[in-house]
Chain A
């Protein structure tokens, strides 16, 4: 079975540009979450979607947005990129959003803003 897949694996963008990251969850998983991990830190929660609805949002500016599609895949968009947005962006999927549900992570997209 395929795990969580993210694309692209790496990309380089210039300050002020916009970027779209993509995530395909494990088949049957309806919840997708996005995390940002800067070097040396643990992942920080950005968004959670369940059944195509936003169920949670972390402390990130409005430049960050996301959506979930009918097939439960998801996109994370970041506008007006800043150098500080350089990070590993992780997508996690799970069957549901309950506290005792295991989350499965993809390998992430490494974004470098120059």
Chain B
């Protein structure tokens, strides 16, 4: 499986934008880039995913480098509720459709009021 590299931790001020980086230099052409986050004492929750083009949804934006070897999750205005561990995950389609999520250690985001 292609691996991802994320900073262990990041800090942001409330209501400021946050850019969470992820490196995935061994990504294959069919790998989707997914982001999940895990709030304290909860299971992970889906944030966003993309393949090649930048993506936006109500939670965040995903910026994917042209060579796809890196991506950035963008929270436009961080709130205290965004304090969580953010996981960048590559998922590859297979003929059987079996694509479990492979989590690393993620980035622990702290938001300061």
Q: Interface residues of A: mostly helix, strand, loop or mixed?
A: loop
Interface residue range, chain B: 20 to 34
Q: Which of A48, A50, A102, A106 contacts B43 (CB 8 A)?
A: A106
**Top 10 A-B pairs, shortest CB-CB distance:** A42-B103, A105-B43, A97-B97, A99-B91, A45-B100, A56-B98, A99-B93, A99-B99, A102-B46, A55-B98
Seen from chain A, the residues whose Cβ lies within 8 Å of a Cβ on chain B are 4, 33, 35, 40-45, 48, 50, 55-56, 58, 90, 92, 96-100, 102-108
Q: State the CA gap A50–B30 with chains docked (Å).
A: 22
Contacts of B31 in A (CB 8 A): 99
Contacts of A99 in B (CB 8 A): 30-32, 91-93, 99
Q: Is the CB of B101 within 8 A of A97?
A: no
Q: Is the CB of B43 within 8 A of A45?
A: no
Q: State the CA gap A41–B92 with chains docked (Å).
A: 22
Q: Say yes or no for B102: interface residue by CB 8 A criterion.
A: yes
Q: Is the CB of A98 within 8 A of B100?
A: no
Contacts of A55 in B (CB 8 A): 96-98
Interface centre among B91, B101, B104 (most CB of A within 10 A): B101
Q: Is the CB of B45 within 8 A of A42?
A: no
Given A42-B104, A97-B99, 18 more pairs with CB closer than 8 A: A42-B106, A45-B100, A45-B101, A55-B96, A56-B100, A92-B44, A96-B97, A97-B96, A97-B98, A98-B93, A100-B49, A100-B91, A103-B44, A104-B46, A105-B43, A105-B45, A106-B43, A107-B41
Whose C-beta in chain A lies nearest to the C-beta of B48?
A102
Q: Say yes or no for B76: interface residue by CB 8 A criterion.
A: no
